[in-house]
Structure formats: structure tokens, C-alpha cells
Amino acid sequence: MDILYLNSRDIETLALTNDEILGAVEESLRAQGNGETSIEPRVHIHPEEKYHGHFNVLRGYISPKHAVGVKIVGDYVYNYKLGLPSEMSMLNLFSPETGAPYAVIDATAITSMRTGAITAIGAKYLAKKKNKVLGHLGCRGTAFWNVVLLDHLYDFDEIRINSRRRESMEAFAEALEARLHKKITIAKDSEECLKGADIMVEATRLTEPQPLLKTEWVRPGNFVVPYGTICANEITLTDVMDKIVVDDWGQCKEGGKLGSLSPHVRAGKLTEKTLYAELGEIVAGKKPGRENDDEKILFWHRGLSINDIALGQLYYEKALANGVGTKLFYR
């Protein structure tokens, strides 16, 4: 029995297109909305505090894909000092029939891709049809694919970015300009970045809560996506929204210290009653998404195992078809 191992170079070689990434993640959301998935609560591993990081363990099953997956991702905010990604991860895929493992995949790029994809698919169903300005806080980790896939859908007239570190902003702008062939605006602060934007994304990597996304900047028609690990918005943000959508209420309702809207859950501002829908319900056609151009809609996603599994399965199938990867003897 062999296991197919895909390393980072294999992932680069297979080079999924924007549409392939979006299609795989949207398909997994549709399966979720139709009750064809199992999403286990994520768990965390916290090594010593001096390391300034933790691990997330995500587990799930997609029936239409016939795949079970477990991903372990390290989230280390100061990795940039070592020249390493903030998030590095591995995904294992298993047969739901026998429990046999069949793939081990470097999921570092997959983590960024699926996060960007769910942001973009959220916009597809919850943002206005026409959006000219994107404001994006946070310039590392999953930020690149947020901007690339959102711009793939909307071809923005203006893209603004902001982060705490000038080096991050400049490197991020350079990478985006090379990919998108358009000018990226480095904003002086979060207000200049977000205020007046059609789509506001908060993907910061804070170590302590800080109100970088102000409630007063939200206007009719805005699509707002706060998903940083540590809260970077105000407790009043949920009060002004017409609809609040999440990727999975089971994960979001925990109310722990991690998660952009965890303070709102603990304060009783975001509850099962005030929640409008999970995105999968909307993708599956169970509930409507945006219904007019004046709605203020917030989408909070914490990251779904099924999105990782869907992309991992696509990479696995594409690798087999193209003879990419290394076979490892298992037993």
C-alpha cells in the first residue's frame, strides 16, 4: 500500500487556475449546505507561550468527494523573522471505507488558497454585482489569495492595502502588482485603507485586540469580511449589519478567545437568532444571499476542513493524472 506525497514544488508544478480553486471550494460549500459533509470542531495545541504560536487541527468528510481529511496548521505570528511563512501545514487524506491513508500533502499554499476562495465566494453571493474599490488589512499569510481571487471576480479600479510593517506592505504590493498587472495603493493607516471601499477585508495578524476596523466606516452596500485570529473590530460592528453570515456556526459559536467575532459571541450580539445563514446554505440555494444593493452584509469565516479537503483531493487527482508526486511505501 502506497501513499502519494505532494511537496511544495509539486503543488507549484500542478498550478491550479483561479477558476479551479474557486470551483472546488464552492462545490464543497454546496455539499455542506446539502448536508453531505461532516465538520468536526477544530481543536488547538498551544506549546509554550514563549514561541508565540499555536496549532489548529481541522477534521472533516465530504461525501460526494469520498474523502476524509485531517489538516494540522501551525500559526506563528513572528515566523517572518526566520524567513518562514506565518502558517505552515500538512493535510492527510483517508478512505472513508477502510480508513487507509492515500495522500500526504504540503497544505501551506492550500490553506491560503482556500481562505482566499471562501472570501471570494462569499463576495460572489453577498457583495454587490459591481465593486470598484477593495480595502484589505493584513499583508501576510492568506492575504495574497484574498486579493487575487476577489480581483478575479471584480477587476477592481482600486486596491488598497495596509499592515503594521512597511516591509510586509511593500512586498505584498510588489507580489500583487506582478500577478494582477495593476497598481496597488499602500494606505497610511486602516482608515485610509477601508473607509469608502466597497469590500472591506480584515485579515490582520494581531497579538492583542485593537479596533482597526471602525463601525462608523460601514456604509449601505458594503460587504465586510473580518476574519483575523484576534479581534480587530469594535463590539458595535454587528449592530449595524443587515445580514451576518458565517462559514460554520458550530465553529463560530464557541466564543473562545480566538476569532474575529468571538467577543460578539461572548457578549450575546452574535447568536443563532441573530445569525442569518451559513454560506453553504446560500450556495446550495436554501436561502437567498444579497437581495439589494443597500444591504450591509458581514461574512465571518474561521476556515473549514472541507475546503482544505476539496482542494487537496483536486491536487491528488491532478497529480495522479500528470504523474506528479512521490509514492511512499506505507505497509
What structural domains does the chain harbor? 2-110+306-329 (3.30.1780.10), 117-303 (3.40.50.720)
Predicted TM-score (pTM) of this structure:
0.93
Does pLDDT of 72 surpass 80?
yes
pLDDT of 207 > 90? The answer is: no
- Strands 101-106 and 37-45 turn out to be unpaired
For residues 297-312, average pLDDT: 96
Q: What is the pLDDT of residue 165?
A: 87
Counting residues of the chain whose pLDDT is more than 70, the rounded percentage is: 100
Query: Residues 252, 261: contact at Cβ < 8 Å?
Result: yes
Contact between 150 and 312 under an 8 Å Cβ cutoff? The reply is no
Instruction: Name which of 226, 229, 230, 228 is nearest 215 in CA terms.
Output: 226
CA-closest candidate to residue 160, choices 127, 132, 184, 196: 184
For residues 290-304, average pLDDT: 96
Mean pLDDT over each residue of the chain, to the nearest integer: 95
CB 29 within 8 A of CB 121: yes
Task: Encode pLDDT of 95-108 as tens digits.
Answer: 999 999 999 999 99
d(CA 266, CA 132): 35
Mean pLDDT of 203-219: 92
Give pLDDT, residue 255: 65
Band (205; pLDDT cuts 50, 70, 90): confident
* Neighbouring residues of 62: CB distance < 8 A, sequence distance ≥ 6: 28, 31, 36, 37, 306, 309, 310, 313
Instruction: Give the three-state DSSP class for 1.
Output: coil
Please answer whether residues 199 and 137 qualify as being in contact, where contact means their C-beta atoms are separated by less than 8 angstroms.
Answer: no
The answer to which of 151-155, 207-211, 260-264 has the lowest mean pLDDT is 207-211
Mean pLDDT of 261-266: 94
Confidence class of residue 181 from pLDDT cuts 50, 70 and 90? Answer: very high
pLDDT band at 251 (very low <50, low <70, confident <90, very high): confident
The phi-psi region of residue 20 (left if phi > 0; otherwise alpha if psi is between -120 and 50; otherwise beta) is: alpha
Q: Would you give the DSSP letter of residue 191?
A: H
82, exposed or middle or buried, with CB in 10 Å at 0-12, 13-18, 19+?
exposed
Tell me 78's DSSP state: T
Any bridge partners for residue 163, and if so which?
Answer: none
Is the CB of residue 310 less than 8 Å from the CB of residue 91? no
| β-pair partners for 130 | none
* Mean pLDDT score, 22-30: 98
Place 86 in a pLDDT band, splitting at 50, 70 and 90.
confident
Reply yes or no on whether the pLDDT at 158 is more than 70. yes
Q: What is the pLDDT of residue 263?
A: 94
Residue appearing with cell numbers 500538512: 90
How many CB atoms sit inside 10 A of residue 185's CB? 15
Looking at residue 85, its pLDDT comes to: 87
- Answer yes or no: is pLDDT of 31 > 80: yes
Alpha helices (H) in 84-156, listed in sequence order = 108-126, 143-154
Residue 236's CB is within 10 A of a number of other CB atoms, namely: 14
Distance CA 246, CA 50 (A): 32
Q: Tell me, what's the pLDDT at 271?
A: 96
